[in-house]
Amino acid sequence: MSRAAEGLYKALQYGFYKEGDRRIAIAGRVDKLPLCVSLKVEERAILRSFLFMSSRLSGTRQIRRQMRYLVFSACIVYGVPVWVTITPSERHSGLALHLFRGRRNDPAYGEDALFGETITGDAQAGIRDCIGYAKPSLRPAESVTIDLPEYDLRRLITSRYPQACVQAFRVACRIVFPALYGFRI
């Protein structure tokens, strides 16, 4: 059994498969390992077991292949889907700052100490400006640009209050993107 596993490892590193008349190195690609021409019977049995077990683990190539088959079949029935990747970012965290729920009389935002760290007066004033129900406002007054605090302050707030990031992600998924793409949740 251990020799078969060792043979699979060597085939993964140094093996090759044929595509027409060409020999192509496997070079560490697990998805090409079943096509290797030099596998023995025991190695193929271990490989089949591996592929079967990994087809049940999330994030593996086998699961992605099954997802691709499902998406392709859904395209035939429902049409081509729109793929949207939502990545919460501290760089564009206006919604997270709006959902930041600090209290003005909280001693953590006081003059002496902020989160147990030494923060400059500008950062304390900036955080105090973000405390409140409608601060910072997400509605532009007359122009399209919205004034947000500096990047370091946004990063400080989102790192110290991660619940705001979670809520901003939920709002983006449930309200913003359905409104943009015209679907209901």
Number of domains forming the structure of the chain: 2
Q: Is the pLDDT of residue 103 over 70?
A: no
Mean pLDDT along residues 157-181 = 80
| CA distance from start to end of the chain | 51
104 and 172 share one domain = yes
| Spatial separation of the C-alpha atoms in residues 63 and 67, rounded to whole Å | 6
Nearest Cα residue to 95 out of 126, 135, 152:
135
Last residue of a domain, one of 26, 54, 78: 78
pLDDT score at 42: 92
Instruction: Tell me, yes or no, whether 140 lies in a domain.
Output: yes
Instruction: Tell me, yes or no, whether 171 lies in a domain.
Output: yes
50 and 113 share one domain = no
136 neighbors 165 (Cβ within 8 angstroms): no
Instruction: Tell me, yes or no, whether 149 lies in a domain.
Output: yes
Instruction: Tell me, yes or no, whether 165 lies in a domain.
Output: yes
Q: Average per-residue pLDDT in the chain?
A: 76
| Spatial separation of the C-alpha atoms in residues 87 and 85, rounded to whole Å | 6
pLDDT tens-place string over residues 79-99: 887 777 776 666 666 777 777
Lowest mean pLDDT among 24-38, 55-69, 128-142: 128-142
105 and 141 share one domain = yes
Cα dihedral 104, 116, 147, 163 sign: negative
pLDDT score at 114: 46
pLDDT score at 133: 60
User: In the structure encoding, which two tokens stand for residue 171, read together?
Assistant: 């709002």
Q: What is the DSSP string of the chain?
A: -HHHHHHHHHHHHH-EEEETTEEEE-TT-GGGGGGBTT--HHHHHHHHHHHHHHTTSTTSHHHHHHHHHHHHHHHHHH-----------STT-HHHHHT----TT-TTBSSS-BTTB---HHHHHHHHHT-STT-S--S-SSSS------HHHHHHHHHH-HHHHHHHHHHIIIIIHHHHHT---
Instruction: Tell me, yes or no, whether 89 lies in a domain.
Output: no
Mean pLDDT along residues 144-150 = 66
8 and 33 share one domain = yes
Where do we find the tokens 């935002």?
109
More confident residue, 135 or 5: 5
Range of the domain at 129: 94-181
Lowest mean pLDDT among 10-19, 96-105, 150-159: 96-105
Nearest Cα residue to 107 out of 128, 80, 126, 77:
128
User: In the structure encoding, which two tokens stand for residue 100, read together?
Assistant: 């930041």
Mean pLDDT along residues 87-114 = 65
41 and 103 share one domain = no
pLDDT tens-place string over residues 148-162: 777 777 777 777 778
47 and 98 share one domain = no
68 and 125 share one domain = no
More confident residue, 153 or 8: 8
